[in-house]
Amino acid sequence: MERALGVSSHERPQAHAMNRPARLAVGVVSAGRVGSVLGAALARAGHTVVAASGLSAASLNRAERLLPNVPLLPPDEVVQRADLVLLALPDDVLSGTVRGLVATESVRAGQIVVHTSGAHGIDVLAPAAEAGALPLALHPVLTFTGREEDLERLAAASIGVTAAAGDEAAWNVGEALAVEMGAEPVRIPESARALYHAALAHGANHLMTLVADCTETLRTAGIADAERLVAPLLSAALDNVLRHGDRALTGPVPRGDLGTVRKHLDVLADRAPQIAPAYRALARRTAERSRAAGLLDPAAATELTDLLSDPAEGQTP
């Protein structure tokens, strides 16, 4: 890493000597919610953001707030100016962008090329690695708003770090960058990235959908201030499951209250049919976990599973 770290790739020091990267010129591609915040976090750690890319009005506004006085340039020019390239791009465009940057000779030997995608490891950066760059995947386990408060939230968050297997120096660079941004680094092997990301999406993204469905249904029932009503309940439920796992399961399914579940299915079919399939699927999964945890009698679990089966299942088209 001749320019960025002061040594060539053949002369990397031992891992303990790389706990703190040198001050780096950072290029952000692009200035979306994640890129702007992480660029600001790196600047706060003492690195210099030398350029960023962004075309939308939202990107321009974010850059003005979080990356003041940083010039907005085309992606290839951003990369050419940088020692550390931060690719904060959607999953599906990352691979093509990397290939394009390498094809235009924007990527050079000695750079650190980082992407923030949770779905990808470092394989997607193979063209950059072949050009002599150090590939790293740094995925912040955080929902971003693109505002200043995200910088403080990083202090309570983790960053999933992936580097080349067996390259302890590279792992240390990734971990050091995560720490400098204020987060806790967690090593995610390349082989685990897809399942890791699926788990996080299932937990965070689907939780948001679940809560939005909950509050919307309450409003359908004529209940005002739905968010205020459920906030203590949902906060306690999240805290309990994180502390106690399946032992925290509660409600009519773990209790085996078939009558209550049947009423839920009836009223949802009538008043909120768009939610009924998700209710059935999650209640079935809750029954499975409750039974495995010893909270639900096997016979009651079987009855619940039969009750919760999709009414469309088994019907001939």
Judge contact between 275 and 213, C-beta under 8 A. Answer: yes
pLDDT for position 310 = 75
The phi, psi pair for 85, rounded to 5°, reads: -100, 120
Separation in Å, CA 247 to CA 26, 60, 132, 279: 46, 48, 51, 21
Q: Is 69 helix (H, G, I), strand (E, B) or coil?
A: coil
DSSP string, 27-60: EEE--SHHHHHHHHHHHHTT-EEEEEE--SHHHH
pLDDT for position 59 = 82
Q: Report H helices in 181-297.
A: 193-200, 206-220, 226-244, 252-255, 258-271, 276-292
pLDDT for position 313 = 53
Selection from 208, 227, 199 nearest residue 278 by Cα: 208
pLDDT for position 57 = 83
Judge contact between 258 and 307, C-beta under 8 A. Answer: yes
- Other CB atoms within a 10 A radius of the CB of residue 306 amount to 9
Place of tokens 């209250």: 257
Tokens standing for residue 172: 């240390």
Rounded percentage of the chain residues whose pLDDT exceeds 70: 91
The per-residue pLDDT for range 162-192, each reduced to its tens digit, is 999 999 999 999 999 999 999 999 999 999 9
Place of tokens 């950066």: 125
| Torsion, CA 10, CA 15, CA 18, CA 20, rounded to 10 | 160
Is the pTM here over 0.75, yes or no?
Answer: yes
> For the chain, which ranges sit under pLDDT 50?
1-18, 314, 316-317
Pairwise CA distance, residues 138 & 117, whole Å: 7
Judge contact between 241 and 299, C-beta under 8 A. Answer: no
β-strands 184-187, 158-162 pairing: parallel
Q: What strands, in cross-sheet order, belong to the sheet with 158-162?
A: 48-53, 25-29, 84-87, 112-115, 134-140, 158-162, 184-187
At CB < 8 A and 24+ separation, what contacts does 300-307 make? 300/256, 300/258, 301/256, 303/256, 303/258, 304/253, 304/256, 304/258, 304/261, 307/258, 307/261, 307/262, 307/265
